[in-house]
Amino acid sequence: MKCRLPALLIFLVFAGGVVDHAFKRTVVRPAEAVQSPEGPPSISVCQLKSDPVAYNHRLVEVTGFVSHGFENFHIFDPACDSWPNPWLEYGGTTASGTMYCCGVTTERTRPQPLVVEGITIDLVDDARLKEFDKLILRRPDSVVHATIVGRFFAGEMITTEVRSFWGGYGHMGCCPLLAIQQIVAVDPHESNELDYGAEADQPELDKECTGYEILNELFNRNLSVKAQERADLGQEEWAFSDPQRVATEGLAQLLKLNDPSTIELKQTSQTQGRIIYWWRPEGKTTRYMVEVSRPYLLSFYAKDPKRVAWVLIGAYETSCGGRGRK
């Protein structure tokens, strides 16, 4: 599961780390933290991310939002939703089946229990695990709220030309790892109005298309939380009932247009808790796709959990036709 670099790469060992000349990055491995005799500490995702070394190899209990889909199995908290979030994998002989790079398959079982850095990870196979697994797999991508007990692996401190981060596990070695040992609690998906999806749709482009530009911060979920707060405070109460206005004003802000009324959006699709609009300015080949949602995670931040605001989750500029798709 750990994304290894090709064997042909040449590494120079020094001072407890390596230099990867092909990717121009320095890798440093952490020491092992000491496990408390009182059992796994109950911590937040933000605590885990703020000091990965303190929890390296330790069993921890973490509550947060789990995002699952293609090349995606993370636990996150909107309050600290910066890259990278901890990658997840089941312990025991049960595999998540998440497809990502490199060298993994979609098999749901493994012949032997999961072993990471010499530590065997067991898995409690009970009703809560089955419910959690069903929820993360019920759509092409899904968000679930859960409390997890797992063994944390900080991975390696990787320093590139632009940033330093703990990683080595998951897609392209993106992240630290939380190996799941037990699902302590999982919240159900009960609403017929909320969006339980994990990722924004992207434009479906025809054969003449040259690509598209992403206009918004796709994975900054804290922006959605702030939009919910403004709606709850009455500053943007229309966000509860007018998704087209949310899309129009959001796009106008991204394009720095003073007059949102010049934007004439056309709704092209709607699914549970999610609507896609397109706009083609008159006399131009440029087209814009805007997607708004009533995200499930906002029900945990809303003043009334049954009153979730519409928020912009995706905005794109393209010079070719198309329709939104998954």
Taking residues 153-161, what's their average pLDDT?
93
Decide if pLDDT at 3 tops 80.
Answer: no
pLDDT of residue 22: 37
Q: How far apart are CA 93 and CA 145, in angstroms?
A: 23
Decide if pLDDT at 7 tops 90.
Answer: no
pLDDT-derived band at 28, boundaries 50, 70, 90: low
Beta carbons of 237 and 230 less than 8 angstroms apart: no
Number of domains in the chain: 2
Same domain, 127 and 41: yes
Q: Is residue 115 in a domain?
A: yes
Q: Express as a percent the part of the chain with pLDDT over 90.
A: 75
Of 142, 162, 186, the last residue of a domain is 186
Q: How far apart are CA 148 and CA 179, in angstroms?
A: 9
Rg of the chain taking only CA atoms, in angstroms: 22
Same domain, 172 and 288: no
Q: Which amino acid is at 160?
A: T
124 burial (CB, 10 Å; 0-12 / 13-18 / 19+) is: middle
The CA-atom distances, in angstroms, between 30 and each of 34, 53, 179, 235, 239 are: 12, 6, 17, 47, 46
Same domain, 266 and 290: yes
Q: Is residue 216 in a domain?
A: yes
Averaged pLDDT score across all residues of the chain: 88
pLDDT of residue 322: 45
Torsion angle defined by CA atoms of residues 105, 109, 113 and 118, in that order, rounded to the nearest 10 degrees: 10
Nearest CA to 66 among 115, 153, 129, 116? 129
Beta carbons of 248 and 279 less than 8 angstroms apart: no
Each residue's pLDDT tens digit, 60-77: 999 999 999 999 999 999
pTM comes to 0.86
CB-CB neighbours of 185 under 10 Å: 12
Beta carbons of 148 and 136 less than 8 angstroms apart: no
What's the domain range around 57?
Answer: 11-186
Q: Is residue 196 in a domain?
A: no
Of 186, 210, 233, the last residue of a domain is 186
Taking residues 92-96, what's their average pLDDT?
96
